[in-house]
Structure 1
């Protein structure tokens, strides 16, 4: 296992890692689905299921379009073959809903503030890298009074290529002046961990607070923890 003592920056996924994914995104997805389905509840539920919601387990499945993709991926799933201008407009509209509903519904993972405060006090530079939009990530951070903890907040639209490509982690490295080898990536989906490896990150840390199981994360994770509340113990003591 790579040495945690070499880490000086920690880059967090947002949904499922810092905030409760299902509580936040179920409302967003159903708001969008009902608008498309003209309030036909059965049709809206079918759209949510297509996006990855498991109605029996009442959660989004790890690796699904909603759990791991971007708003653009969702538009392409629900509205295939749109003309370019219509696709761009639809993505912008969906992003607007995600910003508004996401910030209103966001609930932090247990221990969120204490964890971030402790890590900053120990000298770590922190960031967010999400497949949500940058505006959505900033709105959520503002709603939960988290903005001051982060040296960078990076959305899928902040870079040319979103996760699992390395671009977001490389942008965090550029903004903080840290080498990728000194950065730990923390996330609840395999695309977070794949980005870490693609970018040459020092650590790929999986968390079980989101949509993926230990078995799903294990092949790509250097370390798996229950949630970010375990990180102060991993990096520098209890």
Structure 2
């Protein structure tokens, strides 16, 4: 199959990725960071560490988020609003600032080798974007650390002025700025928030299993559920 034939038969013209749990394996990246952040916020006070962990639905013994933790898909602001209830004397803004800046040191674990993966998609003429419920600052920091920021035509966080998932508006902003029909865009994500937003935007939806959600949770909202984003190119031209 020639490249021109591949392009003419592709399902989509643009791919919009979630970040955490999609480009980067969620557990390998965020469980370690969260354990350290909880310790720092609690100043090593065991009782306070436990209260913070409960607010985040994080298992201190197993050092991992519970699959039901709302933090997996929420924005930094929503996480800060949960934490302020157990951190007297701190403001939502102070906690949000801490989360934003400390998260830049998270030990990123790419779901696949990202540079060749993204180069391959770009070579097919696809527009590429990232829409995360993290901050745009955090998103750009992580993408820059991974050496892939320049591969994306669009990068947005919940604070970029387009809204947050599961609202479809930030997804539609990608389609609008790239001049793509929403139906010719695929939203790729690891959570129900990603896929609900994609469906509401009139986009195709692909779920991946590198986050905390299982196949059963994602399959009702996705056109297909893949083990990881590495399987996406074959689906695009299938």
**How would you bin the TM-score normalised by the shorter chain?**
0.7 to 0.9
Over 3 Å counting, the alpha-carbon distance change for 1:157 and 1:187 in structure 2 is same
TM-score by length of 2: 0.87
The reply on whether 1:18 has 2:41 as its aligned counterpart is no
The reply on whether 1:136 has 2:141 as its aligned counterpart is no
2:53 corresponds to: 48
TM-score by length of 1: 0.87
1:214 corresponds to: 215
CA contact (8 A) 1:62 1:189 kept: no
The reply on whether 1:79 has 2:79 as its aligned counterpart is no
Find the aligned partners of 1:52 and 1:135 in 2 and give their Cα distance.
25
Q: For this pair of structures, how many residues does the alignment match? A: 229
Superposed structure 1 runs of 4+ greater than 3 Å apart: 54-59, 80-83
Q: Deviations over 1:16-51 (max 9, x none)?
A: 110121222223322331222121245425523431
2:226 corresponds to: 225
Find the aligned partners of 1:14 and 1:21 in 2 and give their Cα distance.
9
Find the aligned partners of 2:134 and 2:165 in 1 and give their Cα distance.
11
Larger Rg: 2
Segments of structure 1 that go 5 or more residues without pairing to the other structure are none
Find the aligned partners of 2:61 and 2:97 in 1 and give their Cα distance.
31
Offset of residue 94 of structure 1: 2.0
Find the aligned partners of 1:223 and 1:130 in 2 and give their Cα distance.
20
Find the aligned partners of 1:55 and 1:118 in 2 and give their Cα distance.
40
CA contact (8 A) 2:114 2:148 kept: no
SS of equivalent residue, structure 1 residue 10:
strand
Offset of residue 13 of structure 1: 0.5
Segments of structure 2 that go 5 or more residues without pairing to the other structure are 1-8
2:148 corresponds to: 146
Offset of residue 55 of structure 1: 5.3
Offset of residue 186 of structure 1: 0.3
Over 3 Å counting, the alpha-carbon distance change for 1:62 and 1:161 in structure 2 is farther
